Amino acid sequence: MRPEQIDQVARLRQALDSARQVGRTIGVVPTMGALHEGHLSLVRQAKAQCGLAVATVFVNPTQFGPKEDYAQYPRTLERDMELLATARADYVFTPSVQEMYPPFDQTRVRVGGLAEGLCGASRPGHFEGVATVVSKFFNAIGPGTYFFGKKDYQQWRVIERMASDLLFPVRVVGCPIVREPDGLAMSSRNSYLSPEERAVAPRLAAALLSAQARYQAGERDLAGLIDGTRRDIEGDIPGGPSLSIEYIEVKVGTTLQAPALDVHGKLAPSDSDLVLLVAARLGATRLIDNIEL
Ligand code: AMP
């Protein structure tokens, strides 16, 4: 059955309040549309865990920088609705920009240190836009479990922090990354890649897997792990498109702080919460990926 499409906050609140009154619990999946299997896995999980699944489809202008792809971002609502029907979503919230940002809007939500490194460093204002729009969703949709992909690892951690700091009555859950058969993490932006670029893109995931294997085999030299990952991503084949690395970093998962090192630059033998995160440009497209070591 096709989910009900709602584009106004007042109507959404009415529908969800009625559902809560008859005891239903709500699972929410915020998206920017151009949906793929990664998004749908979150919706299925919301449906399975909560019974009533709400997806949002909103390309949020405040999380794009002035030179980023807000105007070109793929918008495929008709197809998104069909895919959301197959994942058994109940409601799809598709607000206009005016609905989310009322006239004279001037309030923003800014998270501290967690939002500053990694993607926060190369995309100034990005996480402020994300935190602002997600807090609006928390208020418009209300109590429930909100599902985020670990594909956007830093985003998940920033939102988890914000929900806790601002006492939102929500639960935030991080879900596994869904990949193409060749390992490339699914992303709406993969549609920007030319066939030649698409052929090179899986190197990112392959490099992460190989670093994870080295870590699990006992490699604890941080610089060695990062250099190996860099070599695997850059490759040594001359000609053709190449990945240009923006960052490769190992962080403590929950805090995104630098891990403790001993005097030889070695990671602790049994750190159980490390994540290796990368961002790279492939032509005009920016790709991110990560792996829990
Ligand atoms: P987006 O539409 O890109 O804003 O993504 C909406 C949600 O889907 C975010 O929580 C993303 O982390 C998640 N997501 C995107 N791609 C994937 C993927 N390949 N695997 C798992 N979750 C994903």
pLDDT at 10 exceeding the cut of 70: yes
Ligand 1 pocket: which of 28, 31, 189, 289 to mutate (most atoms <8 Å of CB)? 31
Which of these ranges, 68-77, 111-120, 187-196, 228-237, has the smallest mean pLDDT?
A: 228-237
Contact 242, 258 (CB under 8 A): no
132-177 pLDDT, tens per residue? 999 999 999 999 999 999 999 999 999 999 999 999 999 999 999 9
pLDDT at 270 over 90: no
Q: What confidence score (pLDDT) does residue 1 get? A: 86
Provide the pLDDT for residue 240.
Answer: 80
Over 70: is that where the pLDDT of 237 sits? no
Catalytic residue (choose from 36, 39, 126, 264): 39
Residue from 41, 42, 60, 190 to probe ligand 1 pocket by mutation (most atoms less than 8 Å from CB): 42
Backbone phi and psi for residue 100, each to the nearest 5 degrees, phi listed first: -85, -30
Reduced to 3 states (helix: H, G, I; strand: E, B; else coil), residue 171 is strand
Coil, helix or strand for 39?
A: helix
Whole-angstrom CA distances from 10 to 6, 15, 133, 279 are 10, 9, 17, 39
C-alpha 209 – ligand 1 centre gap (Å): 20
CB under 6 Å to ligand 1: residues?
31-32, 38-39, 42, 148-149, 151-152, 175, 177-178, 185-188
Q: Cβ neighbours of residue 127 under 8 Å, at least 6 residues apart?
A: 63, 110, 111, 115, 119, 120, 154, 155, 158
The pTM of the full predicted model, rounded to 2 decimals, is 0.97
CA distances from 290 to 197, 246, 258 (A): 19, 13, 15
Cα of 146 from ligand 1 centre, angstroms: 12
Give the Å distance between the CA of 152 and the centre of ligand 1.
7
Q: Kindly report the protein residue whose alpha carbon is nearest to atom 17 of ligand 1.
A: 38
Q: 224 vs 271, which has greater pLDDT?
A: 224
pLDDT, residue 48, reads 97
Q: Of 20-34, 95-109, 183-197, 226-240, where does mean pLDDT reach its minimum?
A: 226-240
Residue 109 pLDDT level (bands cut at 50, 70, 90): very high
* 39 part of the active site: yes
pLDDT, tens digit (0-9, with 9 covering 90-100), for 45-94: 999 999 999 999 999 999 999 999 999 999 999 999 999 999 999 999 99
HSE-CB for 174 with a 13 A CA cutoff: 16
If you average pLDDT over residues 218-239, what whole number do you get?
91
Residue having the nearest C-alpha atom to atom 5 of ligand 1: 31
